[in-house]
Each structure stands twice: as structure tokens, then as C-alpha cells.
Structure 1
Amino acid sequence: MEVYKEVLLLCLFLFTVFLRCHSQSTDVLEAYIKTDGAWIVKLPKSQYTVKTVEDCAIECNNETSFTCRSFLYNQKDQDCVTLPANSKTDQILRRMSTALYEKKEYLLECVNGIGTDYRGTKSKTKSGKTCQRWEETFPQVPSITPKTHPKADLESNFCRNPDGDQRGPWCYTTDPGERWENCDIQDCTEECMQCSGENYRGKISTTVSGFTCQRWDSQKPHNHGYIPSALPDKYLEENYCRNPDGEPKPWCFTTSPSKRWESCNIPRCTTEPPTIVPELTCASGEGSSYRGTIAVTLSGKTCQEWASQSPHKHSKTSENYPCKGLEKNYCRNPDNERSPWCYTTDPDTRWEYCSVPSCGDQPTPEEPVITVGDECYEGDGSSYRGAMSKTVSGKKCQFWTSMEPHRHSKTPQSYPAADLRRNLCRNPDGDRAPWCYTTDPSVRWEYCNIERCDSKPSVQEPLTIPTVPVQTSAPPKTDCKVGNGASYRGPTSTTIMGVTCQAWSSMTPHQHASFTPETHPDKGLESNQCRNPDSDVNGPWCYTTDRDKKWDYCQIPDCDGLNCGQPATKPKQCFWKIAGGCISKPHSWPWQISLRTRSKIHFCGGTLIDAQWVLTAANCLERSDSPSAYKIFLGIHKERATEPSKQERDVSKIIKGPAGTDIALLKLDRPAMLNDKVSPACLPEKDYIVPSNTECFVTGWGETQGTGGEGYLKETSFPVIENKVCNRLSFLNGRVKEHEMCAGNIEGGADSCQGDSGGPLVCYSQNAFVLQGVTSWGLGCANAMKPGVYIRVSKFVSWIEQGMKEN
């Protein structure tokens, strides 16, 4: 019995030690900020081989050769590099499968207490004097140096508090008449905002009227499109007040059903706002730094002064937007528009973009983005000139001329032959495929969602028609991948360069411990086939039998079968400019139907959502409640419907939506024949809200208003506009209901129009096009600040499913 007790106590002790160590290894990463795809080349550095990223963090914390501010970790290589540098001090480069972890304390630009632990980069005193470098002896001969205070981080000329001065960080100055002076650095606990609070990261969570804020990741009591996971650069944490959409100050949705949203009462900081480098002759990115004197719009109209409320009343004043350079009537971009703009002196034109030249080869707003049909790339994609601006994981690309959120050297000036326009996917540096920097602060760059022209799936999956996008847990048996290929279990066992894969259980020629059949028993690592055990966004990979190349990706084609929302012919995905759109590739939107009179005249659109069901707008059925009054054409590209692929069906039943809603179901007299020219779109998840600024696509044969393409199916894309913005006085003034959604370019130029009603608004998600909207109404077509309004399909999923089941 005594032996049993001793063994039990020993087991309990070991279990306690394990829990403590596990907790420490998990918590150690909380002191770091991670950025995928980032790399710093810096000496000195230390290199270690470790089993986990937590072990690498411990090496950084225990580093004695230098002050470790960050570390690099490559999970596939189990390579750990500790560094004295971070993104504030050194240039960040691109590197595949490497993550940069930076210590938060060295990124903070505020002080706790008297700031003895301040490690930011402020280098000016309260009176604006430049700090002298701590190791220099001119003009001041310092008594405190890096040698006398080795733990105080006295590097460069950054403000520090090595001697515990009660007034906070200080520095020796470069002014011979002023030996030293304190620095003006904000207190970390001070709840205040700079400018309009775009970068406010505080924790105030009540509005000016005392309402408690609704969590950003919640849709109750108010549905909204500000989804934290889709807008990582907006820092929509918890229920804290934020300013994601260019309001004069931070705000939030409230927990009161009677008050949708309200501003928060956050005082302005007393410290100087962050400085910008003014651009006087051109605009980079979205032009937020432009401070030139151009005051004329694209159509030649004179700009209204920002301080004036005539002829147009507005809130874009220097009081509301103090850091935006709203002087006189100069073109500016105070609210994150696509480029600089202004209100005009023409009473009939509220505002327009300006004719400010772009820095580099970026086109001005009136120029259409290239849509030359480059749906794939040749070779390494250096010659790709298509219009894709999304990465393989669906992230939006950062403008090449912008330095936010990622600073870089790949600019149009540095690479004039690379066609680095706007935020389009390109390959300026001879990488293996087109890529871009992302707008996600935690992911520096990714390859783009473009296929190689010679990459065609060898086998297609069988036809399935789910009503919502389904991520199957069962591995596909074909030699193609779905999504990022995490479920791929095919036979390919060579890399993209033709090198044979090393067996996952083997340690020759490459030692590894991160991915083995034992560590990942459910990932298919039994042999040497290509797999994706870490859900790498770029697809399956393997360790190689080449001693000089530890691992590489495999060339696995996508499974482009006839699942819902997956057209056999890849759409052109025309951008920016069916009024103002472009002619679609034939049958690239195979769910688009033409709703016609008995005499076969087209008058509305619709969407095939099942072999025997079409979704359309109720306003399209006002001429008659009789199913016999209508016909439906499927599988056509020309409005004349002369193609052999045409399928003609009668309507056997009409089911209109709930009272006050513009939606209807049409049952075909017999199921459509599903093929590569006729297939359904996917239905969304119930109550799903499309994130603000998501790029979506509208198709139809409607009125083109003289933009060309009459008689052919046209397409255009534009971003979703959050209902909060769409209901502003200057937009649609409260007309948009909760079961509706807005989409469009606020400057106009592209829109759905007469004849497009009832047609689809689809958004690409998880490898499929999902029907998020039914074209419903608008104030005119393609007018500025008057986006189109669509029925939000996710609000009717239960109604649709019930109607199809019972009829």
C-alpha cells in the first residue's frame, strides 16, 4: 500500500510539472506579435534547431548575445533565428513559410509608469529637438552610455529612461545649448485618440449616451458587415469602440435593440499625432498622404472649400478630421476612399474624384483596370497582366504604392517594367507565381488565386448539388485538391520541380519532427505522398529526397467539378467598370437564367439554386400571378438565345416571399439538365452577413446605358457597402432594410439596371460562388452615392428550404 501511495504521489507530481510547463510554453507567445511570410536579414543573430515555436520564444527570452527583439521560425525546417531587430528598426523581406514574432514591448509607442521599460522609437524631445545617439560624444559628452547601462537598451537615439527619472524617458540632444530634455510620449493607460481615432486601440466600450457596445463578432441585436476575421486591419476586438469606416470618431453598435449604433466619447490626445510624409505632386495607394494643391475633379469641376457648407452640406471638416490636411478646396482623401476627391461647386454634383496623378504606373480612377482575359499565368507569371487582386486564402491585396500595413520596396518606381498597378497580383521579382502583399497585418504576403495555364484537373469529382458550401471531411479519391488541399489523399509523390518526396516517417536525408505519422495520425502521412498537414494556404507539399532542398510544394490541380457555385468555365471576373460592365465569357455564370414572357421576351433575371428551382425578385412577377405567364431560359449567353445549349422550361409554381420582401421562388415544370453550361449557385449559411468591402459580382442582360455589350450577358464587380454606410443621408437615407444589402462603387459607373432585376449577386467564398443577393431596386443606374440594393438571401435560407421541401 505504501509503495502504491508513493507511485501515486510521484505521478501527481509529474502531472503537475507537465501542466505548469505546458502553461508556460503556451503563455510565452502572448508577449509576441506574429506576422506570416516575413523575414529580417540582420547581424548579429543566433540560430537554433527547436521542436516548437514556443521553444524558439524561450531561446529569444534567454538570449545573452544581444537584446532579442524578435525571432524567426520556420515550422517545416524547425529553424529558429533570434534577432536584435524588429519591423521598426529594419526592413522586412518576403520569405515563404517563415513567421516573424516580434516582442510587443519593443513595438509600444507609449509608456507605463515612468517609462523605464519604454522601448519605442521616439527620438525627439518635448520641444522638438532631435536626440543624440547614446554612444556618441558630440555635442554632448554623456555620463550614461550603453556601456554604463547595458540593460537599458541605449541603442540608436531613441528616448529612454535608464536612471529612473520621475518625469519619464529622455535623451541627450543634438542642440549644443541644451544638454538633455524629456520626451513627450503618451501614457499607455491614457484613453485618448489621435486624429479621428482610426488607430484608436483603447478599451472604452460605452457610447456618448451611455449604451453598452455590442461585440464586433456578434450579430445580436444588430446584424452588420464589420466582421473581425474579414477586417483584421481594423482591430475590431471585443466590444471596444473603433472607427473602421471613416467616421469623425470611434463608434460601436449598441446592445440596445432601439439604437443601432452611436459614437463614443473619447477625448483627443495631448501628444502630437503621428507625422506623415506629405506627397505634393502625386498620390500613393489611396492617396491619404496627398497634400498637393490640385482642386479640380476628373470632369473639370472646381472643388468646394472644405470649410464651406455651400452648395453641399457635409461633415468632412478640419474639426472632425484634424489630420487630413483639409485646407482650402484642395483634393484630399479624409475617409479612406479609393483616391483623393472633393465636394464640387456644382449644386447637381455632390462630389467627384480628382485628377491627381498616381505615383508610379497606377491608373487613375477613370481608367478601367485591365481585363484582357488573363485568367491564368504562363511560366512563373512574370508576364501576368490580369485583374486578380485576391490571394489564395481570399485576402485582399495591398496597393503596391502603399506602405500600410506592410512596408516594402516593391514599388512601381523600383520595378517600372512589372506593371505594378493598383493592388493587382504581379510577380516583379521572379518568384514562382504572381503574388501580392496582403491587407492583413498578420500576413505579409501570399501567392494569388490564379492557376497556371497548363494546369488542368485530370479527373473531376462527381456532380453534387448542396444548398450550402460544404467542406467534406472525407478525403477525395481523385488526384486533385479541394481548397488548400488539407483533405488531399491522392497518389502524387513528386514536388513541383519533379523531385521525389521523402517518406514522412523517414529522417533521411532530412531530419524533422514536426510532421510525422505519429504527430499527425489523421493527415495521411503513411507514405511519401504530397500532403498538407499544416493547412498551408499554398497547398500540399513534402520533404524532398534532394539533400539541398529540405521541402517543396507539389503541383496538385484544383477539383473543378460541377459542384454548386463552381462553373466549368472560369469567369472573367471583370473589375470596376451591367451598366458599365464587360461582356462575360460564355457560360461562365451557369446559374444565370432569363425570365421571359410567354412570347419569349426577356424582362428579368434569376438564379438557378437547384435543378428544379429558381430564385428571383417578386417585383418581376407583378404582371401576373399565373405561372403560365412566364418562361425560363437556361444555358444561354446571347439574349437572342440561339445557342444549342439553350434549355427552355415553363414555370409550374410561384412562391412569393413574406409580405414586404422582394423575393420569390419559381418551380420549373421539369428539372434542368445539369452540365457544364447549366449548374446552380450555392446558397449561403443562414443569417450570414457579407463583410464590408467584400468584392462581389452581378450579371445580367439588362439596360447598359450606352456602355456597349447589348444582347450579351454582362458582368461587373463591386464591393459590398455596410448598411450603416448605405443608409447615410448622402447615400440612400435610411431606405435600406435589415433583410436587404447594398453593393456598388460609390462614385457610380457600374451597377445593375433595368432588366437585371431578380438576377444574382454572388460572392466568392471557400472555392465557390455563393448567392448572397437578389437584384431588387436602386435610385437610377450607376449613379454616384446611389448603390444598388439587393435582397439578403441569407435571411431567407429557411424559407427557401421549406418552400422547396413542401412543393
Structure 2
Amino acid sequence: FLCRAFAYDRVTKRCHWLSFNSLTNGVRKKQDHAFDLYEKKDYVRNCIIGKGADYKGTISVTKSGIQCQAWNSMIPHEHSFLPSSYRGKDLRENYCRNPRGEEGGPWCFTTSPEMRHEVCDIPLCSEVECMTCNGESYRGPMDHTETGKECQRWDLQRPHKHKFRPERYPDKGFDDNYCRNPDGKLRPWCYTLDPNTPWEFCAIKTCEESVMNSTEAAAETSTCIQGQGEGYRGTVSTIWSGIQCQRWDSQFPHQHNITPENFKCKDLRENYCRNPDGSESPWCFTTDPNIRIGYCSQIPKCDVSNEQDCYRGNGKTYMGNLSKTRFGLTCSTWDKNIEDLRRHIQIFREPDVSKLKKNYCRNPDDDFHGPWCYTDDPLVPWDYCPISRCEYLICFWHCQLCYTAIPCASTKHLRVVNGIPTQTNEGWVVSLTYRNKHICGGTLIKEEWVLTARQCFPSRYKDLKDYKAWLGVHNIKGKGEEKHKQVRNISQLVYGPAGSDLVLLKLSR
């Protein structure tokens, strides 16, 4: 028995071994959400790694277009490459193979008496799709590193644990075990199946300069930032605190490899703030030897929203025209997905189709995370939309935290989002920071729990490693001596019930 694929039964949690795959003659594919099909890559891959010695695909035509002779046939050419003599090399039918791992790649004997054998025109996986810039938008099929190591699947945590889970980063192309560049490295890479080699770069062909993938080119702006600011091309050259930026082509006072030569498409001119690596916003190395990196958060966001692009409560009444998800995917029309929606909300009520116009973001099922939509991406069937809640006030009444959607009359109120420095008698207020920059206030309600606004953490899938809670401070900019300052990591988010705009943060050391 030769296993070419297996089907995983989600209900019984068992695997069924298969001697065939989706390319086997006579096999028909049928979608069934109760099963996941896994196929051995060597049998379904349409490109070759290295010399193609492991290629077991179904191409059976030579590079000049001649049909291949079957390996178990001696007509028109006699030969010694019998399937029984090369076990494990899969000399089936008349498929192109390279049983001896010779230069030139897979080949076959031909059905033409004039041409004994010829190589097949099977592309290298590294050249099926070229990469532009540093390959952030590369979505090709390369699944081996430059030293020939097979890549680890992105949805697995063995043999190497990592943070790049596909469900957390649906826009990064984490399909299967293909080489990708999700974090702005020099070029695409992957984790390997070698326990002693966590990751390596992949050898992928670079596109000619004239070729530019539209998804690679972020919308350029010069006075404000859109999204994460990857297209910012302005001339701001200080970080938020006023410290001057270090030139990108300089290695003093900080050494680095993010240079104009390594990141040719990122416009690393002078010492201007840029976002070459997909960080949260534009940044730079600083001229202060004690501060390596600083964010240029003083650059304003481009005004792309209006008052209608916010929602109240859980967004059930939202009727705006946004039709993209938080990861930039275009929404699918509701009429294409109405049956799935009916199954989703079951038999308790019928969705109000009068509100489900075109492909606009809506909340027909009272999801307390807000408006969402279906997509046409099979890897991301649906996702939430990047719509903020309409502004609410969170007020302090005589050192008691309260939440209200009603203006606080003449009582002095302090905003939780953004915020101002506290007085010394208000030290119970916690400063929540992202990469040492204050973003929100909060209240310590128990030894390891802080209460704050949900608006500060709109996504429950945030990577919390760069978020900290500062306790016992009176200056949110971190200036001056703070004798009682304590810094805690945030280990968990606990969102309030439906309709609530509060979130609990669990602290850890």
C-alpha cells in the first residue's frame, strides 16, 4: 500500500489513508466541511525542487511537445528503467521522472522513434512566481529553503513554535508550508522541519524591475499615513518625542541591515520616517545611543472616515457603505451567502434581508464584536470590518470608574483613550503602553486585573508582547523619576458581555 493522501474526519478525529489523490484518473473532488484532505506534495506539485529527483507529478509531455512512452513499455524504445528496478521512484504510467537525480531535471523516453528521450518542461518552484522588492507579497509555491530543507507548515507548531498562525494573519498568505515574508525580512523565508534549524531564507527569483505586483505597492502619502503607513513618503525625520532620526544609510549610533540597498522599494532616503518591515506605523533608528528605535506617531492619520463610519452598540443598526474587511479583503455579496447565514443563525429568526444590501458590512446575527461580512477567499470565509465604535466617554466620578454614553455634564472627565498626565493623588490610574508609548488609561481593580475601554483593544487577536501596564506613574510620557513605577506584561484579554464597552486585562510579570 502506497499512501498518497489522507482524509481527516473532524467528527471522529480519525485519519483515512488513501492510495490515490485528487489528480488520480477517475477521482472527483467534492467539498465536505466534515473532512480535511491532505495530499503528499510530491504527487501534486507542478514544479520541481532542485534536480526534481522527488517529482511525482503527472506531466507526461517533453519540452518539445512529444508524448512520453510508458515506463513499463519497450516500444518504441527498449530500456532498463523498469518500475520494479527503481522502487520508490514512482515510475508510473508515462509520467516524467528523474530516477537517478541527473542534471536537467525530469525526463522520459518518447513515443517518437526519432527521439529516444528528452527532458520535460517542468519549471523550478523558485521561478514559478518571481518576487518584487523583498517579497512581502510573494504567494508562489516554493516550499524548500535555499539549502534544500523542507518548510514547516504555518499552521503547525512542530518542530518550531512560532507566532505566525494563519488565523491571526489571514492576509499574509500562510498557505500550506510555502515560503513567505510576513515580518519584513530581506526576502521570503520559512520555518524548517529540521529541529536544529529554526528557519532559513528561500531562494526565489527576483522579478525584473519593470514588473510590480499591485498588492506590493502601498498607496503613497506624504503628509499623513494610511493603514500602517507602509506607503508613507513624507519628510518627517523625528520620532514622537522629538529625537532626531538616524540616516538609513548610516550604521551609527545603531548598526542594522535595513538599508537602502537591502530594501530598494521602501524609499529609505535621508533619515525620513518609514515602515519598511510592516510594523504598526512609520519609525526610524534614532540618533540617541540609548534609544535604538522610535515610532513617528506624531504623523497624523489620513482622514478616510466620516461620522457615518462608526457604529453604536454592537453595530446591528450600522448602515454604512464600507465593503472591505480589516485585512483588506473585498466583501462578498450577501445574496451569495444567504443560505449559509440562515444556517448560522439557525431557526430562531429569519435574517432581515432588506438591510443586507450589496456587499456592505453588516451585523445580521448580533455579533457583539461588530459588523462583518463574507469574503470570496476560501481561507478567510468571513471577517470583521475595520469600523470603530462611535465615541463614548469613560468618566471618573470621585475616584470611581463608571461608563456612560451620556455626556458627563460639568464633571471633569479624563479620557481613557489617549489621556493626559495624572495628578499625584490619582495614582490608581494605570498607563497602558504600546512599545513604551502611552495609548490608554485603566484602573487597577484587583492585584492582577486592570479595567479599561474595549476601544483600546478592538481586536481580541492582538499579539500582546509589545503591550505593557505601567502602575504608580504620574507622567504618561515616562519623563522624570517615578519612585513607585511598576511595569507588568499583559497576558490575557477578557471582553465584557454583549453590549459592554469594557475589557479586563490580566497582568503578569
Output the TM-score relative to the length of structure 2: 0.47
Q: Which has the higher contact order (CA 8 A, sep 6+)?
A: 1
Output the TM-score relative to the length of structure 1: 0.32
